[in-house]
Amino acid sequence: MLRRARCSLQMDLADEIARLGRAIDFPALPRPFGPPLGTAVLRAEPDDFSVIEERGAGFAGQGEHWYVKLRKQGHNTRWVARQLAEFAQLPYKQVSYAGLKDRHAVAEQWFSLHLAGRESPDWAAFSLSGVEVLKVRRHDRKLRQGYLSFNQFNLVLRELQLRSAVDATELEARLEQISGAGVPNYFGPQRFGHSGGNLALVLRPGGWRRLPRDLRGFALSALRGALFNLYLAERVTRGDWNDSLEGEARQTDRARGAAEGDTRVFAPEISAAGPLWGRGRAGSSGAVAALEDTVFGAYPAVTALLEEAGARFARRALRARVGALHWQRSEGVLRLQFALGAGAFATAALHPLLEVRDAAIVENRFEDA
């Protein structure tokens, strides 16, 4: 009887995960400003995607934590963190970072190493292909997830083809819309793995409990992200994704790790916030809470799994602001520079503008950052 019940629950979970596929079909997610204006290719060349993590806050100059800023290419963040731990002869858990940076990007980001009672290693001896040490600083606190001011992106989109009726003026007008209104804060394809494989990890024999720790994190994050994308897609379709409705949960988008008053790109604003499912739901009320119930209630097996696995309920802004947006267009090429807050995806910033084919995905080079 128990075995039959477990089989039934697994079937329900498989069915819901299959239905979640529409939340990770990025080209099909609704766009707020009309259809895409054309097509382009991202990451056609290795240097076409670069991101620089801007921390903003200063350093104490003393303490047990050594901060190292690296430039990396061809490696994901977790792998680099493990190499740092091995080099410094530390447990992996004593190496921290503010966020994941894509493997298929030129990325500059900070790591912190907890070296209680020890001096900094000889960083001149740290040799890793595709990785360069840029700065080393000492501080009295560890680097925590999300503790950065913003990420600065530099993208090159190639094979640009505008729809026949679109001219340069309309392209610039759409870019101005994105700069002024922001974009729906969708989780990008990175969160879900190649062909959405991270979603299906919990369907392996033994479920989420048997997954290695890293894979478990990928799976739970993918499920939460897909549910959030569904809710945000509903708000975009309704036309109120950029509004704070009566009874809606709100949060400030001030960067947690930024220096006080760091407004180089963003002045803090209050934004509407949608659910990242887990234990201890709180926040919205009235009609907004009823809408959340409708969207998330269609996935009882997935939401129950998240709660059982210990995910804590949180909220994520429905809007991602796009700061310091600059562009340059030439024959078949569009170059973009812009800033996003912690947790926002560059692919989400491109989504309202163009139908973008990511060469890292097409060539099966793509994985969770």
Helix (H) or strand (E) holding 11: helix 2-19
Instruction: Locate 139 and state its tokens.
Output: 């501080």
Amino acid at 192: F
Cα end-to-end distance, the chain, whole Å = 41
Provide DSSP, 151-184: EEEEEEEEEEEE-TT--HHHHHHHHHHHHHH-EE
Is 102 an active-site residue?
Answer: yes
Query: Exactly one of 102, 253, 262, 358 is catalytic; which is it?
Result: 102
Pairing, β 38-42 against β 355-358 = parallel
The DSSP letter of residue 291 is: H
Distance CA 278, CA 97 (A): 23
For 295-359, the three-class secondary structure string (H helix, E strand, C coil) is HHHCCHHHHHHHHHCCCECEEEECEECCEEEEEEEECCEEEEEEEECCCCCHHHHHCCCCEEEEH
Distance CA 211, CA 82 (A): 19
Contact assessment for residue 301 and residue 202, using Cβ atoms and an 8 Å cutoff: no
Angle separating helix axes 2-19 and 300-308, nearest 10 degrees: 110
Distance CA 179, CA 176 (A): 5
Residues with catalytic annotation?
A: 102
